[in-house]
Structure 1
């Protein structure tokens, strides 16, 4: 008997998980699914690749299946996500798990970067489940193409990224459109003050499910910290790609401008590279991912937010061109390689001004990564005095962080 059956799944969902090869529930699934099926509010913490999506998709689908389904489908469940790619990923998981329902679930996936008209046309006749980024959802509601007054279940997936991506005001506006009585399922990899404030306001006596982050770098991920002056990072990156014969590389940068700039420099150096960020159209982003997975694109340059929701099964190399703002983000970045028991390489570029920051990341991880220098790219700069203490996001809130916190502290309107 499939172990998922013991979680209380309906026959059609049990058949779907068996068909999809879900043999054993992951820890987040085993803990979250029964609580969500029982109607409890839920606060879940788990890393990328933990099976989190199915942990909320299965209860949402069973909720839909167990209730009357009139011809005009009213929206019963709303799933909010920070990126287009994650919206599409959740939508595909929902279609796969609902494939054996007697009546297909009426599903709508809404995100920006494409024309709004086809999405509004698809909402004719209603939608039982809506998966959306906050901005596009509000646009559709403003066009009177969707009403949220019947939503009985709200899912916030990757709540930390929803708030960190500048969606705090939009999220507050969405919450004001929802009925006060509903089930809330909130998932977040990290819990900064903004997420904690939202959790305290949103959830009622929640079940808390925390799945510890697996340690990284022990045999599977080979970590390198390369000292280099900031101005020499792009030539060094090109050199390492060529010398290491890296066939696929995911490069993390801090800004959209850096995405374009680094990708352009790599292309001029003869490498097949692309900038993956929110300014690109959805069609362009889809083509980039397809080309990257197929090996037609060698280097994908992305920000943390742009890369959220990207799942690449066999990614041999990750490069931190710019260091992440937190130790948790560092774990998420390098954890994109060495999936499913494979080995991987994670390289971080360390300038003199970033050394103290990287030491804090190492301290949070409880290990040190030996510094390396590449011949011909040895650094010459020294750290300015103000960089001596380093800094990791979370120690002292910035002005933007304070504004986000204020946005999430407004009382929810019923």
Structure 2
């Protein structure tokens, strides 16, 4: 066989070609396309509040549009007034005191995660990733040259990993441990004691910790959010916090997130951003400034609705034979096990994995859910309960009727 010519050689780089499409966004896009075509699809795929962005935030953006100051380039690392507000918000909400030089404003949480990993990982460095994980984490690690090492937790532990599991995964190549509480996709929340234990283990072994705090205000019942660097000062020199306005203020489309970390790492990530995207949209930054400077009344209202929906969806899913759904303590997702349903006959088909089961649910009853394969654990489904109460009940009722037909 002759050598490849330019016309037959690889057209897409191996690095980018290996990236998987975001499964959650793909499911959401398919559901919206079917709905636009007139199908009565109910989507449980998207991880975004169904509430509008609060009016005072929108008004701040409207006013920014008319201000010539925001018609020009601004510092790549973020508006100084927004960085100062993030510093104040972090002290208010987490009791964690930082300096503006430790803050980088990014185009949403995804850019924050990638740039954080890119700033500290060298090729071959390993990152311990508790699974089930959000789909973006391993892809960002690989793009940054790292190697994700999965540590799997299941419903028997409330989807929380132990220090013993983390230690079993640690090698001489381990550089970072990812810590997410409250969790997407499971809604798991670690206690303050377990959070501190994981942090102390990281300190003992000289590891970095990247902690994603995007769901910090969405906790329910007796669960409490704990900010790792706030309770463990000795970790702060090797800890990066990722956060943003998307979930707390119903601002997923505004695309404003941030990194908080050691000054040298934040400076390196800022340099990267200065070449990749430059500054975040000034209008969105002004909206974020209004959000983080304001009170938390809007999220309090959303949390009441999410809590109500949480109880409803858990109860209805657990009424289905073959489904086991732990009660989440945070975020707005449930992550039921459907392993007992796999291989059973449902309307002439026998789904062998949760991908096939999710496809069957969409095709037969027009309900969109995300299969567990997207989160590193086959045999599960993720459903977001950030949708209206009527749609939630209607959607789960359809799933109940369908899965009640499972035989064999």
TM-score of the superposed pair, with normalisation by structure 1: 0.36
TM-score of the superposed pair, with normalisation by structure 2: 0.37
Higher relative contact order (CA 8 A, sep 6+): 2
